[in-house]
Amino acid sequence: LIPLADFVGTQLTLVITQRSLGAAEVSRLSTHRTIVNFGIMLSGLVTTAVWPELSALNARGNKSALVRVHRTLAKLNLWMVGGLMLCLLPLIYLLYPLWTARRLSLDSWTLTFMLARLLLWTIWSASSTVLLASNKHYRPSFALLVEALLTGALGLYLIPALGIRGAALSALIADV
């Protein structure tokens, strides 16, 4: 279900954006997502490295250590990704016009909504990694699928009304 949720969450928003706003706005939304995905990739490096340790702690039944590692992972993930994005923020405004050959404009509200969602995601990601490493896939898989469908449903209303800001806001609201 996790790959399906990822596909639905991403593609449904892009289809709604394409039908409501056109190809240029799909490009703008995609470039904003690419910026935020840099933080997700960094987080993935940490969670992937900790995964075997979480599985071993679960297999040994060492719940207190599992809780401690989970809390540490959540804090590390939040501070590392949040700190990186905060440091990169001034550079984003300088590099985005160069990256897009000055053909696309950076939308501050869209970026803000996406960065807020990223910070929430860092905590959720650490928690879901514990469940996935413990072979408890059902809950996070189902939650991701519901979130993706809710993002699409909200996007049907928010994207035509707010543009790409609506796409970012619908994903943020669905995550909360």
Give, in degrees to the nearest 5, the angle at Cα 96 between 32 and 21: 45
State the average pLDDT for the chain.
Answer: 93
What confidence score (pLDDT) does residue 138 get? 86
What Å distances lie between residue 11 and 4, 5, 47, 121, CA to CA? 10, 10, 25, 19
What confidence score (pLDDT) does residue 134 get? 84
Is the pLDDT reported for residue 168 higher than 90? yes
User: What is the per-residue pLDDT across 130-150, written as a single tens digit (0 to 9) for each?
Assistant: 888 888 888 889 999 999 999
Residue 164 has which token pair? 């790409």
What confidence score (pLDDT) does residue 129 get? 87
Whole-angstrom distance, CA of residue 56 vs CA of residue 145: 28
Q: Is 173 exposed, middle or buried (0-12, 13-18, 19+ CB in 10 A)?
A: middle
- How many CB atoms within 10 Å of residue 71? 12
Dihedral, CA atoms, 51, 40, 77, 62, nearest 10 degrees? -20
- Please state the pTM of the whole predicted model: 0.91
- How many CB atoms within 10 Å of residue 88? 14
What confidence score (pLDDT) does residue 30 get? 95
Chain centre distance of CA 123: 11
Percent of the chain scoring above 90 in pLDDT: 81
| Residue count (the chain) | 176
* Closest C-alpha among 48, 57, 68 to residue 129: 48
Place of tokens 């994903």: 171
What confidence score (pLDDT) does residue 135 get? 83
Instruction: Report whether 141 contacts 87 (CB < 8 A).
Output: no
What does the pLDDT average to over 151-159?
96
- How many CB atoms within 10 Å of residue 98? 8
User: Residue 37's pLDDT band (boundaries 50, 70, 90)?
Assistant: very high
Lowest mean pLDDT among 5-9, 15-19, 23-27: 5-9
Is the pLDDT reported for residue 65 higher than 90? yes
User: What is the per-residue pLDDT across 72-81, written as a single tens digit (0 to 9) for each?
Assistant: 999 999 999 9
What does the pLDDT average to over 85-111?
94
